[in-house]
Amino acid sequence: MFILRFFNALACLLLIPLICSGNAFALTVTVDSGFRSQWLGPGMEYMEDESTGLTAQAVRQRDHWQTFDGHEVNFGFSDSVFWLRFSVDNRSGVDQQLLLDNQFPMMDSLVIYIQRSDGYQQQQGLGDAQPAYMRQMLHSHLLLPLSLPADTRADILIRVQSETGLQLPIVVWEQDAFLQQDHPFSIMQGVLYGLLIALVIYHLIIFLSVRELAFLHYSLFNLFLLGTFCGLQGVAAAYIWTESVTINDTLVLVSMAGAQTFSTMFMNGILGIPSARPRLGKLMYGIAGIACVLMLASLLAPHRWMAKPVLLLIVGYRSVRTSCRRPMNA
């Protein structure tokens, strides 16, 4: 009898850590003295809320969390709300100034709940559903400062909802490390935008001189490509129309469809596809026509209606490009 009671007590002791671990987060970012950044993907816990009505308090009490095992958290297009959670543990011995960086700036709604082990709590909303000037840090990315005193832990809960795709490339940065990498990236970004503007102006001038449509098509292609980059990278929303919550979504779809239209027209003209392969040439003109219709429709229709057709068109165009690489007699 004594031996049986002994093993029962031992089993209970062994189960205590397992029971308590239900409140522990699977992914913990450990901040030590040499910490610079950590990409959050594998190990991130998430929960889908199809009702979209759960509160943060209700979610914390749920046990049905799943563990993400991919590289970058991405749930595609969904009407559901997704909740994510992870922890940040400061073991560096000094206070740390960190940044939570979501590198997909087109996320509509991102609400971050922070609970520190010293009792401090914070709730902050981000996303392009609110004007950029209201952000705590004005940047093309969605940034949130995180102050973490020495020997404290922060449990972080994130609520995400978006019509533009649930893509969450989240990085935890040490602030100085973020600034060191962000400055050269901003310079390269500026060089890219400058080159695209130069190409737009240069080929437009040539078109006005020689009246060759290929130069106009290429100029417009670069113009819409510039709009695509500015929209997808969050630059336009953060620095051009900081008070608007709708223009950036429209800009991206119009620019993507416009770039598709004029790149197809340019290729058809400069490569002489209609003469060499008439059927393929007609198909290319058809793709350009559909892209033009989608470009105009994106000015009027809601983003959630137009995003999938535009993306499907681009995927279809890539299939046509693959067929173009085959020998002419294939």
Token look-up 């209700």 returns: 58
pLDDT at 321: 65
Cβ atoms of 126 and 110 within 8 Å: the answer is yes
Q: Which two tokens stand for residue 295?
A: 């470009």
CATH architecture of 12-178: Sandwich (2.60)
pLDDT at 323: 60
> For 312, left (φ over 0), alpha (ψ -120 to 50), or beta?
alpha
Checking DSSP bridges between strand 81-90 and strand 28-31, what pairing results, if any? parallel
SS3 assignment, position 215: helix
In the chain, domain spans? 12-178, 184-324
Task: Dump strand ranges (E) for the chain.
Answer: 28-31, 37-40, 45-49, 66-67, 73-74, 81-90, 96-102, 109-116, 121-126, 142-148, 153-161, 167-168, 170-174
The phi and psi torsions of 115 (rounded to 5 degrees) equal -125, 115
Q: Token digits for 147?
A: 């102050």
Cα 190 to Cα 105, 186, 195, 196, 197: the distances in Å are: 18, 6, 9, 10, 11
Residues present in the chain in total: 330
pTM: 0.83
Q: For residues 243-262, b (16+ Cβ closer than 10 Å) or e, as one string? A: ebeeebbbbbbbbbbbbbbb
Question: Which pLDDT score is estimated for 45?
Answer: 94
For residue 174, CA distances in Å to 41, 95, 147 come to 18, 11, 10
Rg (CA), the chain: 25
Tens of pLDDT, residue by residue, the chain (330 residues): 434 443 344 444 444 443 333 445 679 999 999 999 999 988 899 999 999 999 999 999 988 899 988 888 999 888 899 999 999 999 999 999 999 999 999 999 999 999 999 999 999 999 988 899 899 899 999 999 999 999 999 999 999 999 888 999 999 999 999 999 999 999 999 999 999 999 999 999 999 999 999 999 999 999 999 999 999 999 999 999 889 888 999 999 999 999 999 999 999 988 888 888 888 889 889 999 999 999 999 998 888 888 888 988 887 777 666 665 555 454
